Structure 1
Amino acid sequence: MVASTTRPVPPLHRAVAWLLVAALTLPAAVLAVGAWLAWEATWREARIELSREADAAAEYAARLVLGYGMAMRRMEDLLRSPAAAAIGADPAGLHGALEVLVAELPQTAAAYVLASDGALQLAARDSMPSAELLAAMQAAAAAELRPGQVRLSRIGGQLLFAAGRRDASDPQVFLSIDPEALGQGLQRVLAAPGDGVRLIGADGSLLARSGGSLGRLPASNHFYGVVANGLDQAVLEDRAPGGVARLMALRRIEEFPGYAASIRPRAAIIAAWRQAVLPQAAIGLPALLAMLALALLVRQSQRRLLTANDGLEARVAERTAELAELSEALELTPCMITDLDGHITHWSEGCVRLYGYSREEAQGRQAAELLETEFCGSSREELHLMLRRDGQWQGELRQRRRDGSMIIASAFWTLRCDPRTGEPRSIVSTRTDLSALRQAERALRRSEARLRRAQEASGAVAFELTEDGTVLADPALAALFGLPSNLELTRPLLAARVHPDDRRAAEAAYRQLGRQGGAFSIETRVVRPDGTERWLLVRGEGVAPPGGGRAPRLVTGIVLDVTQRRAAEAALAESGERLRLAQEAAGFGIYDHDFRTGAVTWDARMRAFWALPDGESVTGRSFLGGLHPEDRPLRRAAMRLAMDPEGPGTYQVEFRVLGLTDGQERWLSTTGQVSFSHGRPVRLTGLAMDITARKRGEQRNELLMREVDHRAKNALAVVQAALRLSRAESPAELVRIIEGRVAALARAQTILAKRRWEGAELHALLEGELAPFLTGLRRDAPRAELIGPPVTVAAHAAQPLSMAVHELATNAMKYGALAHPGGLLQVSWRLDQANRVLVLVWRERGAPELGPVPARRGFGSRVIEQTVQGQLGGTLNRRWLPGGLLCEITVPLSRREGGAGPMLDGEVPPSAAAA
């Protein structure tokens, strides 16, 4: 057995080695562990402190918001009453009431009241808003906030607090809050000197802070994520706009769209950590001393933490006491809280004073039963349904006090819901006693009704004008001049409203009263602020001073609004002018015949109808002398019918008149009305209108109708002939042939109709038959050209010529140039004045070779020959050339009725179309 060469380490040496190792490593390990523990402890304590600060700041802000909301509702209830709606009714009293309410609110700089149109009506604490602040308030008032909504926003370096309006016509109340004062209040909840507290809106705007300037959080801030996730509280790290890292604790403010934030810079936390670690580093290598120093440092840190917590709790207690004082001040407002069944859970001191029931007597009782509430217009169940649907309700209630008296209370109910579940939890209600206000309103309405009935019955407004220019009158006088009813009236103020064109006459009448006094009556116009004009009749009596003067001592009288009468007079004059203009435009003549005296009155137009010489009087002889002999019986029959007492008395007839001096025949349509007295006709008044043009038009239309009837019969005869003579190898071909020939007749008929059967353009006839070939889509497609001067074909010749051209075009499409690609058809015509004929040349080019000319003539050839020779009296010459058909048609230029002859009527100049 071989002995080992290694020697075991003695236990003492081992202990010493471990001691040395411990001596070297233990201080570093203890220092590292201590530093890490101090780091964790420092951040943990910072989060705790910041969370407490944020909770305290949120509670403080929530109480402020609650206080501001309740105070503003009191302001709105005060302002929305009809008696106080007109701010000018009692400005001093209303201003004082608002001053008292504002004085009770902390950090409040001013209060403003805006009318429904955005105008500033009242400013508490005598502070006028800047233009920027006023514009912002007007914009917020126009935003139609939801009823009960609370909005706190920063405008122009000020905080503006607005409560939701109840009705668009109510005034809007705004509170201006001092940001510095609010920041100082928030600063009281801070636990460490380097900490900061912020009041942040849900949109990221800084509404208040313990120090520094206000602004808006950058879009990259983690705050927006907390808002988006709907978190009530959070602790997060972010960076300030300058890049400084910091720790921020957020807490949602109850009943307000915003958060309270407590902020501590990361540098402060690191400084605190360094303060905890540096003593450890200074201890040195001895482990015992290091551990002892570490224990002492930890204990010292704990003591500082406890001290800081005690200080924070003391400050929170102090702020809680201040908020309690504010709550006690708000307790003076009549406010109650009930559960959903109506049992009272909170009864404020204001309710004690209003109803007379103590808290002990009210709490736990059914509010409706205790106060014997009468719900105006709805039941309690219906109001609760509206409250659950809208979240709030406002209206008036009749309730009974403890002493048995009835009051009218304005109530505003708000449904409070659980913030987590959203379930309804309780009902908060504020009350305002409107009994005295309603009683005053009823008395005022009765007084105004009596005065209004008196004014309406007389239509006059009485007034007194003293020597110093003061006007004593009913408020209705101010309304006549378009002035506010509460404005003190003076003579210069009323004179400024007088129309500039009427001021000189009004001043002259006033000076006349100053010199002589006596009665006066004057009509003048006044111009209201909106630009409208009213006519006023002023009547009265003035008392001149002894010896006369510049102004009367006293003027008493009444003012009547005569605008309608003046408008009626102007309308009557305008109506007469319109009647005159309408008569001239329509060409009416007016006549009047008095049966009792035989007098006949005519205007100038009636005299022109009869061509009555100037200066000659109108008599029955001259009237009958101008009537056409054939129409006199018709006129007598119409007159007998109009003079029948049993009839309507209407005289209406059309007759002809022969001018007495010019002999011109005119057609007149006359209508009139006979007046009766005791069953006897006494007067005939009426109008006469020249309808000669209409009658002649009717005659021309009748002749045209006869011509159309004649042409239609001729066309039908041609169609019948086409049907009898048409031949084809198959029914389909026969249909096609007949349709083409009838279509040619129809096209000619259409062209004649457009020219009112006065003739047809030759170019239009040819274009209608050859339209598909006049503009080819392809260069190699067959096409046609029309060349010739303007020629008008007579109506009786249009259809025969159209039929002949149709037959030529049909043959060309079957066998000629129009059936071959690249074929060309040229139709030209000219007027031969020497021989008085129209020459039409049909020339085809590019047609295929047909071989020998057919010996048998088809129906189309016979139609062409019969049409040209038989109906038009012309000649036809056809030749089949190698390129296609050449056909020359000659037609005379004149035709006599009843004979076979020419196509055209009348003489045709060489350079004009034939007529």
Structure 2
Amino acid sequence: MSDFYAALVESTDDAIVAKDVNGTVLSWNPAAVRLFGYSEAEMVGQSIVQLLPDDRLDEEVNILTRIRAGERVGQFFTKRRHKSGRLIDVSVTVSPVHDKDGNVVGASKIARDATQVLERERRLRQSEARFHMLADNIAPFAWIAEPSGNIIWYNKRWYDYTGTTLEDMRGWGWTKVHHPDHVDRVREHIKSCFESGEEWEDTFPLRSKEGEYRWFLSRAKPIREEHGNIIWWFGTNTDITEQREQAEQIRLLLMEVNHRSKNMLSTIQALIRRSVKDNDGFIARFQDRIRSLAVNQDILVRREWREVPVEELARLQLAFVMDAPGEITISGSEFPLNPRAAEIIGMALHELATNSLKYGALSAGGGQVSIGWEVDEEGGLFSMHWTESGGPQVTAPEQTGFGSTLIAEVPRRFFGGEAGIDYASSGISWSLKAPLAMIRAGLSQSAATN
């Protein structure tokens, strides 16, 4: 058996060193040669202190004191000097060796190169420090939850704002800082997302440690492992109180501008009625066009002067003829118009509807008006049509007026495409073809010319 144990000591990758209670080396295995660079002949009979850097001499004194007392020294990390003079990181355990009477006669030391272990720990500490530096200094609150939704971590920003602790917030404790008017809705929504695995987004107020409520845009994203199973949820809460206040101010301003501009349009209508006499037809058409502008303004203000869906524009502009004798059908995919395009197309639709109600398919039972549009993404083209049938027989006008300008000239000139009206006897038809860059919301006019 002694030969077997000797073979173990000789073949192990751990440096195994035997020393007496004074620190004199008694045995030195091959792994110790590889680790420290000294041969067995160079170390046996020498003090183990030879391996210690100057600033760690007290370390060996402490070890020997504990060994003499029969105490085992558990694993610890330290530095030792290689024969070349360089310092190496090692992990060390030291155990007392007893004789048959139980007396401590020496020590068995096991040492292992700890360079890689300590480097991994250093990188881990560095990574953790960077994470906390980032997480605790970003503007949003941040948090991590288990797959069930049980929140286990918040960044410092959360605690600074709410004045809470992790113990207060564990699990679903976050509901304590939610506004009572919103908490049930928020809880049900996020619970549904936790169960379905869908990304979560919501807006609600949170209470600060001073008792003030501020609004936050909150999102959470599921973090999945390689097989798609959710292992964590990562969430953020971004303060949008000022943005909400600014948006409300802008909304009120737009409403005020809309109100004043409508008053101005009313003033213009009154001036026209007083200035143009004995021409009721002209005054009526002019008032119709003013009302069309007002409808466009209402739509744009409600949409915060951004995008207007084609279908919404068509239905609102044609609301005044929906009870006409003729029938209107509207079809087309969802498509957002930019504000200027909405104004021009809205005026054209209103003009077409007014004419149809007086002279065309909408003036008689059985008349049909078909309105539709198509989007050709590959060709970069938007197409729209107005087609009438089943109404009175159509004859082309001998001369064109301002209505024709609204229907054809203005769209053609502004969009740089094609716009025109065909006076077929079976019913008039209007068509528009325009570059998407001039029509779609989110694209500037300059995009069409680049």
Category of TM-score, reference length = shorter chain: 0.3 to 0.5
Of the two, which has the highest radius of gyration?
Answer: 1
TM-score of the pair, normalised by structure 1 = 0.22
Instruction: Name the structure, 1 or 2, with higher relative contact order (CA <8 Å, separation 6+).
Output: 2
